[in-house]
Structure 1
Amino acid sequence: MATYAYRCPQDGDFEVRVPLGAATATLPCVQCAGDAARVWSAPELRRTARAVDAAIEAAGRSAETPRVVTGAPGRPPTVVPRGLPRW
Protein backbone atom coordinates (compact mmCIF):
# COMPACT_ATOMS: atom_id res chain seq x y z
CA MET A 1 0.00 0.00 0.00
CA ALA A 2 1.19 3.49 -0.84
CA THR A 3 0.11 6.85 0.56
CA TYR A 4 -1.04 9.45 -1.99
CA ALA A 5 -1.82 13.11 -1.31
CA TYR A 6 -4.79 14.95 -2.81
CA ARG A 7 -5.80 18.61 -2.59
CA CYS A 8 -9.38 19.79 -2.45
CA PRO A 9 -9.82 23.49 -3.41
CA GLN A 10 -12.38 23.89 -0.64
CA ASP A 11 -11.10 21.69 2.23
CA GLY A 12 -7.36 21.46 1.62
CA ASP A 13 -5.02 18.46 1.58
CA PHE A 14 -5.74 14.88 2.63
CA GLU A 15 -4.05 11.51 2.14
CA VAL A 16 -5.36 8.11 1.06
CA ARG A 17 -3.74 4.67 1.09
CA VAL A 18 -4.27 2.57 -2.02
CA PRO A 19 -2.26 -0.17 -3.75
CA LEU A 20 0.89 1.08 -5.46
CA GLY A 21 0.07 2.48 -8.90
CA ALA A 22 -3.69 2.46 -8.35
CA ALA A 23 -4.03 6.17 -7.55
CA THR A 24 -6.19 8.23 -9.92
CA ALA A 25 -5.65 11.83 -11.05
CA THR A 26 -8.72 13.00 -9.13
CA LEU A 27 -10.63 11.63 -6.19
CA PRO A 28 -13.77 12.74 -4.31
CA CYS A 29 -12.89 14.81 -1.24
CA VAL A 30 -13.44 12.96 2.02
CA GLN A 31 -15.33 15.96 3.52
CA CYS A 32 -17.28 17.67 0.73
CA ALA A 33 -17.19 14.96 -2.02
CA GLY A 34 -15.95 17.56 -4.55
CA ASP A 35 -13.11 16.78 -6.99
CA ALA A 36 -9.67 16.75 -5.37
CA ALA A 37 -6.57 16.68 -7.58
CA ARG A 38 -3.60 14.47 -6.84
CA VAL A 39 -0.59 16.32 -5.43
CA TRP A 40 2.88 15.23 -6.51
CA SER A 41 5.46 15.33 -3.75
CA ALA A 42 8.78 13.79 -2.75
CA PRO A 43 8.59 10.29 -1.28
CA GLU A 44 8.75 9.97 2.48
CA LEU A 45 12.26 8.78 3.26
CA ARG A 46 13.26 7.53 6.68
CA ARG A 47 16.68 7.51 8.26
CA THR A 48 18.20 4.33 9.56
CA ALA A 49 18.94 3.76 13.24
CA ARG A 50 22.23 5.12 14.59
CA ALA A 51 23.58 1.63 15.27
CA VAL A 52 22.93 0.60 11.66
CA ASP A 53 24.54 3.82 10.36
CA ALA A 54 27.60 3.19 12.55
CA ALA A 55 27.90 -0.41 11.33
CA ILE A 56 27.66 0.63 7.67
CA GLU A 57 30.21 3.38 8.21
CA ALA A 58 32.61 1.03 10.01
CA ALA A 59 32.29 -1.53 7.20
CA GLY A 60 33.11 1.15 4.64
CA ARG A 61 36.16 2.31 6.60
CA SER A 62 37.31 -1.28 7.00
CA ALA A 63 37.05 -1.87 3.24
CA GLU A 64 39.18 1.19 2.45
CA THR A 65 41.71 1.04 5.28
CA PRO A 66 41.50 -2.16 7.33
CA ARG A 67 42.87 -2.10 10.87
CA VAL A 68 46.25 -3.79 11.23
CA VAL A 69 46.59 -6.23 14.09
CA THR A 70 50.00 -6.11 15.76
CA GLY A 71 49.53 -8.81 18.34
CA ALA A 72 47.32 -11.49 19.76
CA PRO A 73 44.24 -10.38 21.68
CA GLY A 74 44.41 -10.39 25.46
CA ARG A 75 43.42 -13.44 27.48
CA PRO A 76 39.74 -13.83 28.09
CA PRO A 77 38.68 -13.55 31.73
CA THR A 78 38.74 -16.79 33.67
CA VAL A 79 35.29 -18.01 34.63
CA VAL A 80 35.20 -19.83 37.94
CA PRO A 81 32.33 -22.36 37.97
CA ARG A 82 30.17 -22.39 41.03
CA GLY A 83 29.47 -25.56 42.91
CA LEU A 84 26.39 -27.62 42.34
CA PRO A 85 23.30 -26.69 44.33
CA ARG A 86 22.69 -28.66 47.49
CA TRP A 87 19.39 -30.45 47.86
Structure 2
Amino acid sequence: MATYEYRCPRDGAFEVRLPLGEAGAATRCPDCHGTADRVWSAPSLARTPRALGAALDRAARSAETPEVVSRVPGRRPAAAAPAHPAHARLPRL
Protein backbone atom coordinates (compact mmCIF):
# COMPACT_ATOMS: atom_id res chain seq x y z
CA MET A 1 0.00 0.00 0.00
CA ALA A 2 1.16 3.49 -0.82
CA THR A 3 0.02 6.86 0.52
CA TYR A 4 -1.06 9.40 -2.09
CA GLU A 5 -1.78 13.06 -1.44
CA TYR A 6 -4.76 14.87 -2.96
CA ARG A 7 -5.90 18.49 -2.64
CA CYS A 8 -9.52 19.59 -2.58
CA PRO A 9 -10.09 23.25 -3.61
CA ARG A 10 -12.60 23.61 -0.76
CA ASP A 11 -11.23 21.46 2.09
CA GLY A 12 -7.48 21.34 1.44
CA ALA A 13 -5.03 18.44 1.39
CA PHE A 14 -5.73 14.86 2.49
CA GLU A 15 -4.07 11.47 2.05
CA VAL A 16 -5.41 8.23 0.58
CA ARG A 17 -3.83 4.77 0.97
CA LEU A 18 -4.13 2.69 -2.20
CA PRO A 19 -2.28 -0.25 -3.74
CA LEU A 20 0.89 0.83 -5.50
CA GLY A 21 0.19 2.22 -8.98
CA GLU A 22 -3.60 2.42 -8.61
CA ALA A 23 -3.90 6.12 -7.74
CA GLY A 24 -5.76 8.19 -10.30
CA ALA A 25 -5.24 11.81 -11.25
CA ALA A 26 -8.30 12.79 -9.18
CA THR A 27 -10.53 11.32 -6.48
CA ARG A 28 -13.51 12.34 -4.35
CA CYS A 29 -12.94 14.49 -1.27
CA PRO A 30 -14.03 12.59 1.87
CA ASP A 31 -15.64 15.76 3.35
CA CYS A 32 -17.48 17.56 0.53
CA HIS A 33 -17.41 14.71 -2.07
CA GLY A 34 -16.08 17.17 -4.66
CA THR A 35 -13.24 16.44 -7.08
CA ALA A 36 -9.74 16.58 -5.57
CA ASP A 37 -6.63 16.58 -7.78
CA ARG A 38 -3.57 14.51 -7.00
CA VAL A 39 -0.58 16.40 -5.63
CA TRP A 40 2.91 15.11 -6.41
CA SER A 41 4.88 15.18 -3.20
CA ALA A 42 7.95 13.60 -1.66
CA PRO A 43 7.39 10.11 -0.28
CA SER A 44 6.77 9.80 3.42
CA LEU A 45 9.83 7.97 4.66
CA ALA A 46 9.60 6.44 8.10
CA ARG A 47 13.33 6.63 8.75
CA THR A 48 14.43 10.10 7.69
CA PRO A 49 17.92 10.82 9.07
CA ARG A 50 17.87 13.45 11.82
CA ALA A 51 20.20 15.82 9.92
CA LEU A 52 18.04 15.62 6.78
CA GLY A 53 14.88 16.23 8.80
CA ALA A 54 16.44 19.29 10.44
CA ALA A 55 17.57 20.64 7.05
CA LEU A 56 14.09 20.15 5.58
CA ASP A 57 12.54 21.92 8.57
CA ARG A 58 14.94 24.88 8.20
CA ALA A 59 14.16 25.12 4.48
CA ALA A 60 10.41 25.09 5.15
CA ARG A 61 10.72 27.78 7.85
CA SER A 62 12.89 30.01 5.67
CA ALA A 63 10.29 29.91 2.88
CA GLU A 64 7.89 31.89 5.07
CA THR A 65 10.29 33.96 7.17
CA PRO A 66 13.85 33.95 5.84
CA GLU A 67 16.66 34.47 8.28
CA VAL A 68 18.10 37.98 8.03
CA VAL A 69 21.83 38.56 8.38
CA SER A 70 22.51 41.63 10.53
CA ARG A 71 26.30 41.70 10.14
CA VAL A 72 29.02 40.32 7.92
CA PRO A 73 30.32 37.02 9.25
CA GLY A 74 33.87 37.15 10.64
CA ARG A 75 36.81 35.62 8.88
CA ARG A 76 38.07 32.19 9.76
CA PRO A 77 41.15 32.20 11.96
CA ALA A 78 44.44 31.90 10.10
CA ALA A 79 45.94 28.44 9.95
CA ALA A 80 48.84 27.78 12.28
CA ALA A 81 52.32 27.79 10.77
CA PRO A 82 53.42 24.33 9.61
CA ALA A 83 55.69 22.48 11.98
CA HIS A 84 57.99 21.17 9.25
CA PRO A 85 59.94 23.80 7.19
CA ALA A 86 59.27 21.99 3.90
CA HIS A 87 55.51 22.41 4.45
CA ALA A 88 55.93 26.20 4.42
CA ARG A 89 56.48 26.10 0.63
CA LEU A 90 53.12 24.41 -0.02
CA PRO A 91 50.34 26.59 -1.46
CA ARG A 92 47.73 27.96 0.98
CA LEU A 93 43.99 28.22 0.33
Based on CA coordinates, which of the two structures has the bigger radius of gyration? Answer: 1
The residue type equivalent to 1:16 in the other structure is V
The residue type equivalent to 1:33 in the other structure is H
Identity of aligned pairs, percent?
65
Query: Shift of residue 44 of structure 1?
Result: 1.6
- The ranges of structure 1 where at least 4 consecutive aligned residues each deviate by more than 3 angstroms after the TM superposition are none
For the residue of structure 1 that corresponds to 2:5, the secondary structure is strand
Q: Which residue in the other structure is 2:42 paired with?
A: 42
- Bigger helix fraction: 2
The residue type equivalent to 1:44 in the other structure is S
What pairs up with 1:48-59 in 2 under 5 angstroms?
none
The reply to whether residue 26 of structure 1 matches residue 56 of structure 2 is no
Q: TM-score, normalised by structure 1?
A: 0.52
The residue type equivalent to 1:12 in the other structure is G
Q: How far apart, in 2, do the equivalents of 1:10 and 1:42 lie?
A: 23
Q: Which residue in the other structure is 2:7 paired with?
A: 7
Q: Deviations over 1:20-45 (max 9, x none)?
A: 00000000100001000000001122
Query: Shift of residue 48 of structure 1?
Result: 7.3
The residue type equivalent to 2:31 in the other structure is Q
**In the comparison of the two structures, how many residue pairs are matched?**
49
Unaligned runs of 5+ in 2: 50-93
CA RMSD of aligned residues (A): 1.7
Unaligned runs of 5+ in 1: 50-87
